[in-house]
Amino acid sequence: MGKFDLSHRVVLTPMTKQRSDGNIPQPHAILYYSQQASKGGLLIAEATGGVPDTAQGIPLHAGIWTKEQVEEWKLIVNAVHEQISNPMGKLQSQPLTSKLLLKYEQFFSTRWRLQTEEIPLVVNDFRVAARNALEAGFDGVEIHGAHGYLIKQFLKDHVNDHSGKYGGGLENCCCFALEVVEAVVDKIAVRKAFKGTFIAVGGYDREEGNNVVSSGYADLVAFGRQFFANPDLPRRFELNAPLNTYNRETFYI
């Protein structure tokens, strides 16, 4: 995959366990990520870009906007590299949607509609986060634009009520996302390494994952919840060994 020599096609998806006091990765995260790492593997960490007022939608989520956060991520990244694995950082801005607002509004300041003049500041947050991810030692970053987060909100015309540059039509609705990509590329750089679907994700098991790869639909397959109960998931798939059953009650706080 590009410059990475991967030994298997199983990817760890970015998943927060909401255990980062002060949005700072804690020492237990070193063990957590090193357990998920495998030789020649690829994992995507939960690092969130931006600043507290614009980047968060859930509490106790690890960030990457301060020097202290970067220093803690360095310890985690080093532990993953020691497993000869490839860590990637996830960059997102995660303002509260209405559903999350009802659940987490006590943790955050009141949300507001971004004014046009504020949007370049948020784009710069992504640029700074990309720079910080490089400083922390990540091998690359994922720009996360799903699940109703900020990039997705701009792309949806029933949510994006901006007019002018950032809304009102397909091209304008894409403007924010494209500016974020350009800002991140400015710090990370990019190379064209694939066509079509790259990483497939969403409820796959071993057999289904093998099928989408062998058919050419995807190059890699990402897994989330199964990793919580099976940190050695790639090895279990290799041996076709039984999997532990995950327990949702242990996922978060």
Report domain extents, the chain.
10-144+193-250
Exposed / middle / buried, residue 81 (Cβ in 10 Å: 0-12, 13-18, 19+)? middle
What is the rounded CA–CA span in Å between residue 215 and residue 148?
A: 30
Domain 10-144+193-250 fold is TIM Barrel (3.20.20)
| Predicted confidence (pLDDT) per residue in 127-162, tens digit | 999 999 999 999 999 898 887 788 988 998 888 888
What is the rounded CA–CA span in Å between residue 101 and residue 90?
A: 22
Q: Which residues are catalytic?
A: 149
Strand 199-201, strand 220-223: pairing:
parallel
* pLDDT for res 189: 76
Give me the torsion for CA of 68, 74, 75, 81, rounded to 10°. 170
| Predicted confidence (pLDDT) per residue in 167-211, tens digit | 989 999 999 999 999 999 988 877 666 566 589 998 899 999 999
Show the DSSP H helices in the chain as ranges: 28-36, 52-55, 67-82, 98-104, 119-136, 150-155, 170-173, 175-188, 206-214, 225-229, 233-239
Q: Full-prediction pTM beyond 0.75?
A: yes
Q: Tell me if residue 43 falls in helix, strand or coil.
A: strand
| Predicted confidence (pLDDT) per residue in 11-33, tens digit | 999 888 888 998 999 999 999 99
Sheet strands side by side (includes 141-143): 141-143, 86-91, 42-44, 10-12, 220-223, 199-201
Are the CB atoms for 177 and 155 separated by under 8 Å?
Answer: yes
